[in-house]
Amino acid sequence: MRRAVCDHTNLPWAARPAAHRARILDCACVVLALAAAAPAQAVTARAGGEEYRQLIEQARAGRHDWALERLAEQARLHPQDPRIRQDQLIVAGWAGRHDEVLRLYQALPPKALPLPRAALAAVARAYRDERQWPAALSLYHEGIRRFPGDADFRLGEALVLADSGEAEAALDMAHGLVERSPNNPSSHLVLSYAYRLNQQPYAALEAASKAYSLAPANRNVVEEYISALAAAGLADSALRVARDHSDMVPARHMLDLEGDRAAELTRLASRPSRQETERYAVADRALQAYAQLPPDGEAKPEGYAALAQRERIDRLIALHSRARMGEVVSEYEKLRAEGVEVPHYALGHVADAYLDQRQPEKAAELYLQILNAEHSRQVDPSVRLSHQSGLFYSLVESERFDDAQEVVSGALEEQPAWRHLKGTPVPQPNDLNLEASQYAAMGHHYADDTVQAQEGLEHLVARAPGHSGLRSALAQVYLARGWPRRAEEELKIAETQTPRSPAVVAEQGKTAMALQEWRQADLLISDVAARYPENSYSRQLVQDWERHNRAELRISATRGLASDSPVAGNGDLVTDAVVYTPPIDYNWRGFAGGGLAKADFDEYDADYHWFRAGAEWRSRGLTAEAEVSSNHYGRGAKVGARVQLAHDLDDQWQIGGQYAFRSRETPLKALANDITANRLDAYVRWRASERREWSLTLSPSRFSDGNRRTEAAISGRERLYTAPHVKLDGHLDISASHNTLQDAPYFNPRADLSVLPSLSLTHTLYRRYDTVLEQRFMLGAGIYAQRGYGSGAIAAIGYGLRYRFNEMLDAGVSITGVSRPYDGVREREARVMFDLQLRF
């Protein structure tokens, strides 16, 4: 079972407003800083001397700390010169010391006011960077009033409005700036910034593109253009522009852009590709991008550790898209071991990987964590349903069927059958309701309630006859009920709708195997395995096919523990072993084996052993075997032969039979007296479903001593109770026989009748995927009547264990006790039975 892979589209690089906002503010705020450079030179040139002018030039070249120390010394030497204090404001602004700018400004003497243009801009920016919006606006307004021709103060005002949350007012002002100065790149830069604050990334990109066309070499414009491209979801273009201007982009910012591009590729990797063969191309590109991290020995920019951690988390999703589930689990566990908290947007992919790796308990824990977190926030309904379906499958594979049904019931409550869309008076069908209904129906199937599953899926197919996924699911239920031809019909209809669907093709392959259409199964399984080798259902189907093509060993043995039966004798032992070759040319298998039967009777001991070899033919609706045998009993070896045939008329009816020359069904006491028998078995079987089965068998035998035996039997089974781990069946066995010879040296009643109703309870003790341990209880009571000896009660009791592993090994052991009359004398017997089927 497997569900479809979940579609998680919320990635961290698309949801980092704080980081992007900080970077955007840095880009936009530098506009006024460059504008301050020219006035600073004009002011300081008047402060006196060539030495002072060189000091300012050194400050402009980046020696801010050194320049501020010299300016502080000059201010102490010339306390009456206001221009030195004004230059201190400007250089402190260049150094990014906003608190120092404000301290110096607040300590200015009255005669130092009003400030010149550059100093006023530096103080206004310091107030803005310290988020003191009213003071910043006041100074920008002063600048607009005193310097009406200078657009930088209007730009600053717009930035303050934007930063303070007045995004609409900032946008209006930015439009005014563009109208007044359409060829000023700074105006378009502020407009781009304002648009982005108003959640209009494409309009912002248009404004940034205009600014870039006007000033492609301006650092601030380049950074804003890159930010606008990234905000518009064009991470690849943003990275390309950044690489074209690598000298203008800080290393930390470049790494951010590379992460954005890898995240964009990761988002695209989960979407359907145009061609099936290209579905992993984008995921491979994303993984390649994540692999291009700086090596351990290379110098890394500040903040790289946090960036690398986010990239490792994003890489989990790319690995999931590439279906490398084992690596997803391994990397996630490494992150958790390092104490990294993986966000919810990635946990769904990790849970998928755990489920794929057959760790459903861990998957369920993560899905529950995600769903609990989704209660407190708005989530896309399809994303939430994907998490609910993941939890559903996790619980199913953990054998928690009731909990799984509760999950899908909750999903159905959240997904109404009809949606009312704005502007549309007619309600529209809700596809998510159909999907949740399919999960609910399949939940019944997984819990062995195939009747409810069939009814639910047939109703859904009637609602949506063009939905191939529903028909594929219905075919799966039909196959589980023993109706491969009905499954084939549904899949043929689904094939006309989605001929290349891996789910449809895989289910067709499984159905072909059930129908013994070996060549068709080989083609279908090879096709889906070549196209989707990573799919869990495809892998399981390939394993089934490989198992089918192995050799097979069958062993059966029965040992009497306490018996004085005239039929079986005392201490009886019967064993048989046969080995089948792998299939030859699809339909043929050779086989060879042997066995023995021995028992102690009152008069003598009987010993019989045999060797046999033959061939088996299996094709659609037909299974046939032919063998020759060497039989050793009495005196010498005798050649025997057997032909067996079974033909399926349809999904319910089967006819068949076998003819054995020197049959091994001959009573052991007869063989000990050198009496052989040829036997014919003919039967008709009606199997309504996995819950009901009846058969009628007629078996005439001709003994070499002249006896003619005719046996008839009716056997039936009816399911009385079904639960995920418990099955209660009612059985009825009626048999009768007639013999023409009396006083034979073996048990040979003239006529007898046996009626034995019984109950069997099968309880699953342990089940983990393909590993199953079951126990079985049997209790029966009936009547046996023999001509000439009257009738008597039959009582039977039994207990058994059965173990199945990976469908390669199926072994069972049981003990039964029977009390019944023979020739009017009550006999009791107990025996142990063992059987094994092994693929190797």
Q: Tens digit of pLDDT for each residue in 100-140?
A: 888 888 888 888 888 898 889 889 988 988 889 899 889 98
Asked whether residue 496 carries a pLDDT value surpassing 90, the answer given is: yes
- Token output for 243: 């690489």
Confidence of residue 164 (pLDDT cuts 50, 70, 90): confident
Which has the minimum average pLDDT: 341-355, 488-502, 521-535, 560-574? Answer: 560-574
DSSP 8-state class, residue 584: B
pLDDT value of residue 298: 54
Contact between residue 566 and residue 747 where contact means Cβ atoms under 8 Å apart:
yes
Which has the minimum average pLDDT: 42-51, 75-84, 209-218, 589-598? Answer: 42-51
Asked whether residue 295 carries a pLDDT value surpassing 80, the answer given is: no
Phi, psi (5° rounding) for residue 326? -60, -40
Q: Which residues of 195-214 are buried (b: 16+ CB within 10 A; e: fewer)?
A: bbbbebbebbbbbbebbbeb
Asked whether residue 753 carries a pLDDT value surpassing 60, the answer given is: yes
**Exposure of 400 in the CB half-sphere (CA atoms within 13 A):** 14
Contact between residue 198 and residue 206 where contact means Cβ atoms under 8 Å apart:
no
Asked whether residue 11 carries a pLDDT value surpassing 70, the answer given is: no
Length of the chain: 840
Nearest to 433 by CA among 394, 395, 466, 388: 388
pLDDT value of residue 300: 58
Asked whether residue 390 carries a pLDDT value surpassing 70, the answer given is: yes
Confidence of residue 23 (pLDDT cuts 50, 70, 90): very low
At 309-337, the pLDDT tens digits run 888 898 999 999 988 999 999 999 999 99
3-state secondary structure of 754: strand
In three-state form (DSSP H/G/I as H, E/B as E, the rest C), the secondary structure along 71-86 is: HHHHHHHCCCCHHHHH
Nearest to 840 by CA among 546, 517, 542: 546
Alpha helices in 415-559 (DSSP H): 431-446, 450-463, 468-480, 484-497, 502-514, 518-531, 536-548
Asked whether residue 151 carries a pLDDT value surpassing 70, the answer given is: no
pLDDT value of residue 128: 86
pLDDT value of residue 186: 83
Nearest to 733 by CA among 700, 698, 758: 758
In three-state form (DSSP H/G/I as H, E/B as E, the rest C), the secondary structure along 461-485 is: HHHCCCCHHHHHHHHHHHHHCCCHH
Confidence of residue 43 (pLDDT cuts 50, 70, 90): very low
* Total-model pTM: 0.79
Higher pLDDT, residue 90 or 562 = 90
22 CB burial (10 A radius; 0-12, 13-18, 19+): exposed
Task: Give CA–CA dist 55/36, Å, rounded.
Answer: 16
Task: Give CA–CA dist 325/323, Å, rounded.
Answer: 5
Alpha helices in 198-250 (DSSP H): 201-214, 219-231, 235-244
Nearest to 37 by CA among 71, 63, 61, 73: 61
pLDDT value of residue 293: 64
Asked whether residue 13 carries a pLDDT value surpassing 60, the answer given is: no
Asked whether residue 29 carries a pLDDT value surpassing 60, the answer given is: no
Rounded to an integer, the average pLDDT of 589-605 is: 90
Higher pLDDT, residue 195 or 835 = 835
At 661-693, the pLDDT tens digits run 999 999 999 998 889 999 999 999 999 999 999
Please enumerate in sequence order all residues whose Cβ is within 8 A of that of 626, keeping only pairs 6 or more positions apart, or say none: 614, 615, 641, 642, 643, 644
Which has the minimum average pLDDT: 133-142, 447-456, 814-823? Answer: 133-142
Residue 62 CB: number of other CB atoms within 10 A?
11
3-state secondary structure of 446: helix
Q: Give 737's strand partners.
A: 711, 752
**Vertex 799, ends 793 and 804: CA angle to 5°?**
140
Asked whether residue 46 carries a pLDDT value surpassing 50, the answer given is: no
Higher pLDDT, residue 803 or 45 = 803
**pLDDT > 70 fraction of the chain, expressed in percent and rounded:** 92
pLDDT value of residue 661: 96
**Vertex 143, ends 138 and 149: CA angle to 5°?**
145
Alpha helices in 322-343 (DSSP H): 325-337
Q: Which domains does the chain have, with CATH numbers?
A: 1-16+255-369 (1.25.40), 381-548 (1.25.40.10), 552-839 (2.40.160)
pLDDT value of residue 25: 38
3-state secondary structure of 787: coil
- Token output for 533: 């080798």
Q: Which residues of 540-564 are buried (b: 16+ CB within 10 A; e: fewer)?
A: bbbebbeebeeebbbbbbbbbeebb
Contact between residue 382 and residue 347 where contact means Cβ atoms under 8 Å apart:
no
Rounded to the nearest integer, the mean pLDDT of the chain is 87
Asked whether residue 736 carries a pLDDT value surpassing 50, the answer given is: yes
Residue 12 CB: number of other CB atoms within 10 A?
17
pLDDT value of residue 535: 84
Q: Give 754's strand partners.
A: 735, 784
Task: Give CA–CA dist 834/558, Å, rounded.
Answer: 6
Alpha carbon 536 to its chain's center: 8
3-state secondary structure of 459: helix
